[in-house]
Amino acid sequence: MQQPAVNAAASAPEAAPAAGGSVPAPGALSRAAGKKLEYRMQSLLAWVFILLQALLVLVILFAFVLAPTRVNGSSMEPTLKEGDVLLIDKVSLFFRTPVRGSMVIFSHPVTGDELIKRIVALPGETIEIDRGAVYINGRYLDESMYMPAAGVDFEAFEVPLGCVFVLGDDRAQSLDSRDAGIGSVPIDEIDGRVRFRVSPFSTIALYL
């Protein structure tokens, strides 16, 4: 018998799917790419939100809690030097009374210039400086921790209530409570307390 002729023009059989599953449809690939892009955008927005929150915290911190300032002048040497960058604690004085030995910042009552001095005498105390030595209510005040040199004499003076008596560590050069233009500083006019020195890096310090 005559065998039927094979049609050479017949289409070849379709290739079998690759091992591991069927090929994703173009629409599925598009949806997967879209979800990946959406995930990346959400992650980016989350990081932006976190950074904005951190920035807001820093703004509040430096505006209302720890305000940066730079030392201008040499009246607090050798403790603080001109150009030192400090962080001023503007909150603690609302919750506690001033402490002797603390360095505080306030404005000159006449010029408005920012001054940094050390609290030496508290409200109601009598201060006297004799041959460079400070006496509080007749008792010698040891200042060797922060003032190696002797200061200028000052007659006995009673600090008014609600005020503190401040001095610079460089007593010979400092303009402070001994000057009639400054006098005793009202506690409610103290802007803050020196808490940190952050620059120069080699002299970073915490003041308790």
- Enter the tokens of residue 5: 């002729």
Quote the CA–CA distance of 173 and 120 in Å, as a whole number: 17
CB hemisphere CA count around 82 (13 angstroms): 5
Non-local (6+) Cβ contacts of 66 within 8 A are 87, 88, 89, 90, 195, 196
The separation between CA 96 and the C-alpha centre of its own chain, rounded to angstroms, equals: 20
The conformational region for residue 21 under phi > 0 = left, psi -120 to 50 = alpha, else beta, is left
Assess whether 75 carries a catalytic annotation.
yes
Residue where the block lists tokens 């690939």: 29
CA distance 73 to 76: 8
Q: Is 102 marked active-site? A: no
How many CB atoms are closer than 10 A to CB 48? 10
**CA diameter of the chain:** 143
Query: Residue 161 in contact with residue 124, Cβ under 8 Å?
Result: yes
Please tell me which residue in 30, 74, 102, 117 is annotated as part of the active site.
117
* Active site amino acids: 75, 117
